[in-house]
A = this chain, B = another copy of it.
Amino acid sequence: MAIKKLGKQTVKLENPPSIVSTASIVGSKEGQGPLKDKFDIILDDDLWGEDSWEKAESKMLENAVKLAIDKGNLSPDEIDYMFGGDLLNQIISASFAARQLSIPFFGLYGACSTMTESLSLASMIIDGGYADHCIATTSSHFAAAERQFRFPLEMGSQRAPSAQWTATASGAALLSKEGDGPYITHVTTGKVIDFGIKDSNNMGAAMAPSAADTILRHFKDTGLQPKDYDLIITGDLGEVGKDLAIKLLKENNLDISSNFTDCGVEIFDIKNQDVGSGASGCGCSASVFCGHFYSLLKSGELNKILILSTGALMSPTSTLQGESIPGIAHAVAIQRRL
């Protein structure tokens, strides 16, 4: 068997799975942002006809998965595994969607790192020969997340400038053994990294060290350099976290500033949409990858990207008990042609 492990944390896929299709569904605010033409469905009403935000979130995830499968000309019963999770307690969005879809289900929790966590596992499982087709998916919903993690919207709490706006969004990617790309070629799995940030209104700062750690590890393990990618993309560091990640990497002699962006900066017009430091939430990198960057890879405007969803690992309970907020980031390398 060829060596699949590179260095400490990276895997090189021998038979890179193809991302056959993707789907993205976003809320009304996200649908007014700069990427508005990139999403499959923009909701007029963030309840989407449901009687709770939580149910609306689950419906978004379910429909994103269905649409991705449909675009790939498959049916749910042809999918071997669904890898998914979300921010809600006990990942009810993903679990209840998995019930409706009836696909064998691996539930994940990686906070906002879930999109690349699911892509990582799905691609190794396909590459290893255990599946022909897998779904990788996640979602988040501003109103459901606010009342679970911070305050009920009805309180009208003021937001700190460094705070991020949880994206109301879902993305799903259909990965297959066969297909004409783009292909997932490498997976770098993150460790939980903690720089002692305790301010839940500054998630970007909490997540930046983990993003920097996984990026450093990816280049060390593979021997690649930032210029080998057209773009390095983080999940939802926002403006504060993005700047911190660049700074942390510079301190480690790695300059990614010329080809680096963040989905949490891309999805909103930060100056004019009153979103603090940018977007966050599992659905942010999911919808921006599935809606935007995937189409740039398909069209050839991008040839090779490294994308890392980034998660802040905390609960209101851990914060109340005085814990800091560690982060985690998983990277997948994707290229248009093999």
Contacts and interface: CB of A to CB of B under 8 A. Distances in A.
Interface of A: 1-2, 4-5, 8-9, 11, 51-52, 54-55, 80-81, 85, 87-92, 95-96, 98-99, 102-111, 117, 120-121, 124-125, 127-132, 148, 189-194, 313-318, 321, 323, 326, 328
A3 to B, nearest CB: 8
Contacts of A102: 191-192
A42 B323 CA distance: 26
A91 B98 CA distance: 20
B313 A92 contact: yes
A27 to B, nearest CB: 19
A2 B129 CA distance: 9
A272 B201 CA distance: 49
Taken together, the copies of this chain in the complex come to: 2
Contacts of A121: 106, 121
Among A9, A148, A315, max chain B CB count under 10 A is at A315
B191 A98 contact: yes
Contact of A5 (B88, B98, B107, B130): B130
A284 B96 CA distance: 24
Contacts of A125: 124, 128
Given A80-B5, A95-B326, A108-B107, A90 B313 contact: yes
B11 A98 contact: no
Nearest to A91: B109
Given A55-B321, A127-B128, A128-B129, A109 B107 contact: yes
